[in-house]
């Protein structure tokens, strides 16, 4: 066993020497030990929001709270000209890197835990993907982001409580109102007894208009959860 492990380590180091991995954000700097996919420079220069300092008054919160009672809302990153957020999302969604979602979730969860947000939630619920899309991509990126958040916040993650009935997506070419109608009744709570009275942190990879997360939140509210908060990896 030990010999196998030593051999695997040697092979791994040899492989890294021959084919050094570079940072997925800058595509330049070679990753060193302790860096999984993003180099330390890029990590330090991610366009982070200050939403955790204003959890019930930031812009994203204000957009969501006009539609329903919301406890808190925050996003980790902003889309910027530098394109760092876009790079991360591209790799998370289209380059078969679910572990990147978990890593980013752990980073953001650590920020939120520093401000003791874990005491306000009972569980983390990722927005589900439709089964067809899940089969195609192989994983739900929001679930992996939620997993990382759950680890850092010390909270359970409940992906099984709600399902996506329809494959329809919010469509950018449609008007805002039509989009809103489009996502109504997309989600179905399948474990009502579990969420009754609970304070949920609902998680999506990107929140822009909020139509998708609000639609899911309405379904969870109707099913009896007591409080809804929102967390996203990125917002515009």
Secondary structure of the chain in the HEC alphabet? CHHHHHHHHHHHHHHHHHCCCECCCCCCCECCCCCCCCCHHHHHCCCECCHHHCCCCCHHHHHHHCCCCCCCEEEEEECCCCCHHHHHHHHHHHCCCHHHHHHHHHHHHHHHHHCCHHHHCCEEEECCCCHHHHHHHCCCHHHHHHHHHHHHHCCCECCCCEEECCCCCCCCCCCHHHHHHHHCCCEEECCHHHHCCCEEEEEEEEECCCHHHHHHHHHHHHCCCCEEEEEEEEEC
Verify binding: residue 202, Zn ion, rule CB under 5 A: no
> From the list 25, 89, 155, 216, which residue makes contact with Zn ion (rule: CB under 5 A)?
25
Nearest distance from residue 97's CB to Zn ion, in Å? 15
Query: In this complex, which beta carbon is closest to Zn ion, that of residue 1 or of residue 44?
Result: 44
Q: What's the closest the beta carbon of residue 23 comes to Zn ion, in angstroms?
A: 3
CB of 182 to Zn ion, least distance (A): 37
Answer for which of 11, 13, 39, 224 binds Zn ion (CB under 5 A) is 39
CB of 28 to Zn ion, least distance (A): 6
Which residue reads 């366009």 in tokens? Answer: 47
- Which residues make beta-bridge pairs with 42? none
CB of 31 to Zn ion, least distance (A): 8
Number of residues that bind Zn ion (CB under 5 A): 6
The 63-102 contact track toward Zn ion, x by CB under 5 A, reads ----------------------------------------
Among 5, 15, 17, 23, the residue binding Zn ion under the rule CB under 5 A is 23
Give the residue with the Cβ less far from Zn ion, 26 or 78. Answer: 26
**Among positions 6, 40, 42, 228, the unique one binding Zn ion when judged by CB under 5 A:** 42
Q: Does 26 bind Zn ion (CB under 5 A)?
A: yes
Q: Rule CB under 5 A: which residues touch Zn ion? A: 23, 25-26, 29, 39, 42
């Amino acid at each position: 066993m030990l010999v196998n492990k030593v051999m695997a380590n040697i092979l791994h180091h040899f492989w890294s020497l021959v084919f050094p991995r570079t940072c997925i954000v800058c595509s330049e700097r070679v990753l060193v030990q302790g860096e999984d996919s993003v180099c330390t420079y890029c990590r330090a220069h991610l366009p982070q929001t200050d939403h955790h300092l204003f959890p019930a008054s930031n812009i994203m919160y204000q957009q969501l709270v006009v539609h329903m009672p919301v406890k808190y809302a925050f996003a980790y990153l902003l889309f910027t000209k530098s394109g760092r957020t876009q790079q991360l999302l591209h790799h998370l969604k289209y380059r078969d890197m679910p572990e990147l979602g978990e890593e980013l979730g752990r980073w953001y969860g650590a920020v939120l835990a520093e401000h003791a947000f874990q005491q306000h939630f009972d569980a983390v619920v990722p927005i589900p993907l439709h089964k067809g899309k899940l089969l195609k991509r192989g994983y739900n990126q929001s679930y992996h982001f939620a997993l990382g958040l759950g680890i850092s916040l010390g909270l359970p993650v409940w992906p099984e409580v709600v399902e996506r009935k329809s494959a329809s997506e919010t469509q950018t070419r449609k008007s805002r109102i039509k989009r809103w109608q489009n996502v109504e009744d997309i989600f179905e709570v399948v474990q009502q007894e579990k969420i009754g009275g609970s304070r949920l942190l609902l998680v999506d990879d990107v929140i822009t208009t909020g139509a998708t997360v609000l639609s899911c939140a309405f379904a969870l509210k109707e099913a009896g959860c007591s409080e809804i908060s929102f967390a996203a990896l990125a917002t515009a």
